[in-house]
Amino acid sequence: MIAASQTQANATAGDLLGGANASTLSLLSTDAPKSSTPVVVSTPSQPFDAVIAVGVLIKGSTMHFEYICDSVSHGLMKVQLDSGVPVIFGVLTALTDDQALERAGLGRGENKGHNHGEDWGLAAVEMGVHTRAWSAGQF
């Protein structure tokens, strides 16, 4: 089971990233990726196999951006270490609105950019599969 949490100050980029996560995860749930290592499926001791923290931080004119980025990074790492559940860092840090839109696949002009939400969904599935294999003693 995968949890995706989204807090947004920029609804456009945040909504698209979260939507890409949901789309990717729904596709994978019906056609799970094949692993070269067999995975023993058992009742999970954790409520989730992976967590995706989805967010967009856009720099303003004050130092708050740096403080918030640092706190988010450290906080998500602490959650991962304390829980033993992989946490995918799905937080875009951008200097401008245009950068955030491009990183969400909504760029202006010829290059629309790449929606990183799909990558985060795939990373969560991969980490969930690896974590289950590792807990079963398969390395």
Q: Which residues are catalytic?
A: 64
Q: Are 120 and 21 in contact (CB under 8 A)?
A: yes
Q: Largest Cα–Cα distance in the chain?
A: 51
Taken as a whole, the chain contains a residue count of 139
Taking the alpha carbons at both ends of the chain, their separation in whole angstroms is 21
Q: For 71, list phi and psi in degrees, rounded to 5.
A: -65, -40
| Ramachandran area for residue 39 (φ above 0: left; ψ -120 to 50: alpha; else beta) | beta
